[in-house]
């Protein structure tokens, strides 16, 4: 079965070999799909569909990782943390939180304030 993540990776690989404009269009397309997956997770969690929310956020996380959207990565990790907490998977929730925290710290360290 061909997953959405495999699709993003193949699309990104093809675009990177054809030039910057194609790569930017692919990033934009992947960003929109990742955002849709993330928002699906939000709606699913609000509807108490915890396992479906986890699945949506895992796919969003992978898509954000492919395009390098660190804010999307952190948001997906936090969504996964909340869903895993609601599902009683506390140790998994803590792992997601630690991953998000590391990225938060990296973002804060790389942000310069004058």
pLDDT in tens, the chain (114 residues): 334 444 444 444 444 444 555 455 556 778 999 999 999 999 999 999 999 999 999 999 999 999 999 999 999 999 999 999 999 999 999 999 999 999 999 988 888 765
pTM: 0.76
The pLDDT of residue 27 is 65
Three-state DSSP at 61 gives helix
Exposure string over 50-60, b if 16+ CB within 10 A, otherwise e: bebbbbbbbbb
The pLDDT of residue 17 is 46
The pLDDT of residue 8 is 46
What's the topology of domain 19-109? 1.25.40
Integer Cα distance of 85 and 60 in angstroms: 19
């Amino acid at each position: 079965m061909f997953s959405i993540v495999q699709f993003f990776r193949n699309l990104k690989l093809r675009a990177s070999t054809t030039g910057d404009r194609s790569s930017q269009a692919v990033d934009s397309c992947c960003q929109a799909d990742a955002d849709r997956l993330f928002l699906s997770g939000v709606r699913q969690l609000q509807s108490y569909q915890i396992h479906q929310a986890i699945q949506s956020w895992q796919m969003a996380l992978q898509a954000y990782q492919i395009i390098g959207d660190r804010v999307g990565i952190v948001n997906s990790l936090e969504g996964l943390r909340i869903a895993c907490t609601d599902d009683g998977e506390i140790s998994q929730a803590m792992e997601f939180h630690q991953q998000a925290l590391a990225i938060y710290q990296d973002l804060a360290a790389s942000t310069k304030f004058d």
